[in-house]
Amino acid sequence: MSEVNQAVAAEHGLSASEYDTMLSIMGRTPTITELGIFSVMWSEHCSYKSSRKWLKTLPTEGPQVICGPGENAGVVDIGDGLAAVFKIESHNHPSFIEPYQGAATGVGGILRDVFTMGARPVANMNALRFGSPDHPKTRHLVSGVVAGIGGYGNCIGVPTVGGETNFDPAYNGNILVNAMTVGIADADKIFYSAAAGPGNPVVYVGSKTGRDGIHGATMASAEFDDDSEEKRPTVQVGDPFTEKLLLEACLELMATDAIVAIQDMGAAGLTSSTVEMADKGGVGVVLNLENTPTREEGMTPYEIMLSESQERMLMVLKPGREAEARAIFEKWELDFAVIGRVTDSGRVMLKMHNETVADIPVSPLVDAAPIYDRPWAPTPARDAVSAGDVATPAAPLDELKKLMGSPNHCSRRWIWEQYDHMVMADTAQRPGGDAAIVRIHGSDRGLAISTDCTPRYCYAEPETGGKQAVAEAWRNLIAVGAKPLALTNNLNFGSPEREPIMGQFVGCVTGIGAAAAALDFPVVSGNVSFYNETSGEAILPTPVIGGLGLIDDLSKTARVAFAGEDEAIVLIGETTGWLGVSSYLQEIVGQRDGAPPPVDLTLERKNGEFVRAQIAARHATACHDISDGGLIVALAEMALAGDLGAEIEPADQDVPLHAWLFGEDQARYILTTTDPKAMLAAAEEAGVSAAVIGRTGGRSLTVGGSHTISVSELRIAHEMWLPDYMAAP
């Protein structure tokens, strides 16, 4: 390897000032291994150096929160002595370079984050963003990513129960693959990563270390250019069958009291797990790297420490428990090696055949990691779009058909049918609804899970877009009858070194924080992914929200599908016909103008709590929140899900028909009921806007008595776009 100097440091992604800080910490020129350690720990991906200032503003506490941000995943109390453990994170850059393995290892990584804390994973979700369908890479990327997610999740036996997929030219050069996992653990048996006990053994378990994935963390901390294909060697390769063995072995050992601390090896591999465990415990660690299980000959300390080989864990055990732990891992045919000891030195010391190859003080390495208060520019305000300025369609339901058959509104069946969403037999609501529902095994209770974001809102007005992403996740949980508990977020943006992009980030985080506080929906975990751009072309700001809710009685839930003939259709919430930055404006008119719909968080809470109460009282036979595409798209989705039509009569003649149908006003739901008088009376008492707008029945969707389209015609348009697109050469 090269002699370490500023030029070599720059190749590792360190700035001149960061290199100078490292020299000051070390008091000497570092070894190449030490440089590698600093480079990954101070990368954007690992250090959050551009985002930490703003992440600290998010609300993270609540009576339900057992563990907030800072550990492998967030933990919330779900009653009966149980806890839900969950997190979402990105694998964007690897998935663009190598879609199958990038997506697969993204799933593997988030699974490990969850079972590292002692939870058995019970559900996977994902949020995917691809470029324009016309782009030459898009079909290949969709195929690879979906196959990778399905291949890994199906093999390990954790159901993939839902998610979202969208297309936009902004993602042509940088797709987004965000993976979420939810697990369940005993609330009093959560495992943490803080190393403790000088002299305690440090143990490596799982797969052998190879040379795959070296510098994956630094690759994910830089934008792409025309040579991005050359970064393929930085993408890890996963093995779900080994992950399954690792999961079972870890949970078996966790059933004993042998583990002091545990940390998965994700980004930055053995480096990050060692440093983070030592730092959180306020201790030191000495590792003998020659004891590390390797699958390739002649691996250097640098390669061993920076490898991002998958399916591996680092543990600190109680003294004398090595034989017991070894027996468990060998039973599961996994490597087990004592590779070091905890010390009281406060340093990470690495040895190879008795030669010291790295000796770094832990606290300065972590505490002196750069924190940048990056300059940012606010996004210029936009004027609202008047419905009167948007051409009125002669046949609005023809436009509905176009919308339902468009890439962003068509059925995702082709995707979710490739996922095993029923394995473990606890999936209570299949993909396609507002939120997935997974039964808490052996009970009548369940967890509701949703992922949501509307990037075009975030681009137009970041703060409003951040609020809306949280509000929609909250609404989707409400719509199935769940009590929202907490959220995880995956904040995907372009380069923070560009002031407008940093301004998008600041605005979105501000909005997320405001909504999380107003809705008692704290942020307990998450991930920031910057540098999602190619040659200066950034993605749309995409702060994905993963929401988790609790259902105490699975008999008191709601589904999207119209449930029966001749039921009243009730619109909850006020409609002004907001068309700015709407799906209708984008997909039908071909514009992305105006301001996004305002988000009234007080109204969101009031309307949502009313809807949940109606579901709990079994007064609502079906429920759907209104979001992308407006009222008529929501009604079409309910009709398709129930294979049942409806006759609709506009409730407000002051709002132009196309705006009433396609406007994306927030804080709205559609409920069906057999007793509309009682529902309207309850709404009036609660101070909630409610109106009967039609009745279910027939095999067509009819508006105002004159506009009609059959459910079967809608279904063909809705179901065929994606299979036809993927079948094309």
The residues assigned a catalytic role are 45, 91
Let me know: does 317 contact 196? Beta carbons within 8 Å: no
Pairing of the two strands 700-703 and 176-186:
unpaired
CB 564 within 8 A of CB 621: yes
Contact 190, 67 (CB under 8 A): yes
Contact in structure between 93 and 225 (CB atoms under 8 Å): no
Distance CA 714, CA 404 (A): 7
CA 563 vs. chain centroid, Å, equals: 31
Does residue 180 contact residue 451 with C-beta atoms inside 8 Å?
yes
Question: How large is the C-alpha radius of gyration of the chain?
Answer: 26
Pairing of strands 312-317, 74-79: unpaired
CA–CA distance, 178 with 527 (Å, rounded to integer): 9
Distances from the Cα of 726 to the Cα of 172, 376, 523, 540, angstroms: 17, 40, 37, 24
Are the CB atoms for 707 and 632 separated by under 8 Å? no
Could you tell me the CA-to-CA distances from 285 to 113, 194, 279, 540 in Å, in that order? 22, 12, 10, 42
What is the distance between the alpha carbons of residues 653 and 514, in angstroms, rounded to a whole number? 34
Annotate 82-145 with DSSP letters as a single string: EEEEEEEEE-HHHHHHSHHHHHHHHHHHHHHHHHTTTPEEEEEEEEEEE--TTSTTHHHHHHHH
User: Cα angle vertex 665, ends 661, 670, to 5°?
Assistant: 65
Residue 682 Cα to chain centre, angstroms: 36
- The token duo for 322 is 């090595």
Residue pointed to by tokens 């409400």: 478
Residue 214, exposed/middle/buried by CB under 10 A (0-12, 13-18, 19+)? buried
| Total number of residues shown for the chain | 729
DSSP one-letter code for 699: S
Tokens of 3: 């002699």
Tell me which long-range contacts 355-359 makes (C-beta under 8 A, separation of at least 24): 357/31, 357/33, 357/289, 357/301, 358/31, 358/33, 358/34, 358/37, 358/301, 358/305, 359/34
DSSP H/E element including 700:
strand 700-703
* Among 25, 35, 33, residue whose Cα is nearest residue 362: 25
Give the type of residue at 47: S
